[in-house]
Each structure stands twice: as C-alpha cells, then as structure tokens.
Amino acid sequence: MSTNPFETAPNLATSHIRRQDLPTHVRRHADKLAAQLREVYAKYGAHNFEELKENKKLSAQDARKVADLLKAFQQAVEKKETEPGLKEAIEILGCENVHGIEDVEAMLSEGFVDISKVPPIPYTTEDLEKSKEIKEKTGVEEMLVLFVADKDGTPLTGERMSGLIQAEYDKLGLGKFLFDTAWLKNKDFFTKLGLSYEWKLITKQIIPGSKSKRHHHEPGDTFTHQDTQEFAIEEYAKKLDIPRDSLHRPEPFQMLYAIALHLIATENLNGKGKGERILTNESHWSNVVSSDGNPVNVGGADPDGAGMVGNARDNWDGDLGVCLSREPSPKSSDA
C-alpha cells in the first residue's frame, strides 16, 4: 500500500457543487477548511493543490495535513455536514447536547481548531441510542463533546483554557469561569495535564447513588466497598448493561471544559440568559490527585465561578458525586 497521502486525496476539480448552494453552517466550515489549506499553500509558495504536490520541500506532516483537509472538505460539500456522524448524533441526542467544531471555536476563538486533526465520531448509532435508555432509566443525560489540543498542537492545559474561556464568559456576561485560581497556580493538573483531540460522551448530571459516598475503598478502611462511589459506578453499569471498564471519571479540566462548552453553546443557541448551567449545586469527584494526595473535585459552577479542591478519599460530603464518560462500544471485526 502506498504511503503517499495525495494518492487518496479527493480531486476537488471535479466537484460542481457551488458554495452558495451549501447550508450556512457547512459553508462556514468549508471556508475554514479552505483557509487552513491556503496557509499550507502559502508556506511553500504554492497557489493550488497541483503546485503543492510537486514541491520537493513539502514535509510528510504537511502532506498528511493537506490530504486530511481535502478529505474533510469533500465530506462537507458532498454530504453537507461538518463532521462525519455529527448529523446523526444531533438527530439522536438533540442539538443542545452535541458540541463539535463550531461550538468549540465559539468558546476558544475562531480558527482555534486544526480541522485536519479532528477524528471521526467513534460512537455507533447503537452507542448514541443507548443515551436515550440511560436517561429513561436513570434521569441522567449525556452530551457528546469534542475535546481539542492547543492551537500549536500541544495539550490544552487548564491554565491556558481558563483564560480563553473567561474571555468568552466576559463577552456573554456569564460571570466567572473559575471561582479562585490561587490554589491552582502550582498544581501539575492545572499547568501540565492537558486535553487532546477526541470525542467523548459525558454525563451532564451526577449519577444516582454516588453522593454521600467515600471515593474508593482500600485495605484497612473502617468503611466497606459498598460505601464508596466505585460501588455506585458498578451498580450504574450493571443496571444499564454497560461494561464497567468503559466508564471513567472525567479529569477535572475535562469536566470544566465540558461545563463551559455546554453553557456557551446553549447560551448562543437559546439566547441571552438562557444557557444551561450544569453542576451548579453539586460536584464531580475525579481520580486526579492534588499535591497533597487527595482526589480533586470540581463543581458549584454558578456565575461566581466553578470551585475546585482536593478532598480526602474518606470524605462523604453530600454534594460530592460522580459524572462519567462512556467509551464507544468495540467495533465488530467486519464493521
């Protein structure tokens, strides 16, 4: 098999689709793809795809990026959707619970997303339909979230995203993103731990039975495994017939990114003052530990700003619960 990415790139010269015939959101997306393509062309002094392809100095990385951008462009104009599978996800989950490129750039800034790095949505129709069953049986809603790296390709840290998100909160009059950043200044999970490009289904609410529980059980504890949030997750998985190992506690800034993304997207969708705030009166307890060894929780995401603090794992505060992300089901071998 050839490793030349241009051999599988679409030939856009054969396309007769006119820009003005595209839906507005697809046209905006196609324009962004075209702008990112022009950036690569300009880097090598090329005016078009054919000139670039013949350039001997073209790096393998840029060649792959252009091929991916061209495929994404073809997908957009021919299927009239911005991300593969996004249309189906919206039909099943509702537009208010699906947050892709357009919502991410509304939060972080126009042109922030490297579209060539956005992966296909990995969830099957059955995975997405499972969200309906989860809501019916537990009252818990899931949202589909695109996470992204920083603009330079490095992990998007909590420190970096907090400034970008606060700027958009200020613009929309949404209050504070974080209540207090002083405690976070020297924490590795704030300055070093970061996000990368991936799609995740994440619960918008704390799962049932996870409040007033210890974080987890260890040998020698005076409480039992049944007194922990880990037991609540197992029971949740059993009730819904979901493999336990496909459920994970989101990291602190995964959760805060999702909280902010959902608020900004629904504020833009529904109008000023009508955005949906989640985790306003409760907190999600993650597996990430602070420098004192305590698992970090995030929540209380009201207009005064979300709180973040470490809690000893044997704490059983009534506001502390668990949100979960759910992995895609394994694809069949002939899928």
pLDDT of residue 29: 73
Checking if the pLDDT of 171 tops 90, the result is yes
Contacts 24+ apart (CB under 8 A), 46-52: 49/9, 49/12
Kindly report the number of other CB atoms within 10 A of residue 107's CB atom. Answer: 23
Question: Model confidence at 248, in pLDDT bands (50, 70, 90)?
Answer: very high
Mean pLDDT of 176-204: 91
Q: Are 90 and 98 in contact (CB under 8 A)?
A: yes
Cα 230 to its chain centre, rounded Å, is: 24
pLDDT of residue 281: 95
Selected residue with higher pLDDT from 20 and 8: 20
Mean pLDDT of 235-248: 97
**Cα–Cα distance, 285 to 297 (Å, whole number):** 4
Instruction: Quote the pTM value.
Output: 0.82
Selected residue with higher pLDDT from 246 and 3: 246
Q: Are 78 and 240 in contact (CB under 8 A)?
A: no
pLDDT of residue 318: 84
E strand or H helix that includes residue 25:
helix 24-43
- Record the tokens describing residue 73, joined without a space: 């462009």
Checking if the pLDDT of 192 tops 50, the result is yes
* % the chain with pLDDT above 70: 89
Mean pLDDT of 318-325: 94
Checking if the pLDDT of 210 tops 50, the result is yes
Lowest-pLDDT choice from 3-7, 27-31, 204-208: 3-7
Question: Model confidence at 95, in pLDDT bands (50, 70, 90)?
Answer: very high
Q: Highest-confidence range of 3-7, 27-31, 207-211, by mean pLDDT?
A: 207-211
**Strand 283-289, strand 320-321: pairing:** parallel
Question: Model confidence at 13, in pLDDT bands (50, 70, 90)?
Answer: very low
Checking if the pLDDT of 225 tops 80, the result is yes
Question: Model confidence at 291, in pLDDT bands (50, 70, 90)?
Answer: confident
pLDDT of residue 30: 76
Mean pLDDT of 162-188: 92
pLDDT of residue 20: 67
Mean pLDDT of 255-267: 97
pLDDT of residue 24: 67
Mean pLDDT of 237-264: 97
Mean pLDDT of 236-260: 97
Mean pLDDT of 208-221: 94
Sequence spans of domains, the chain: 5-82, 95-326
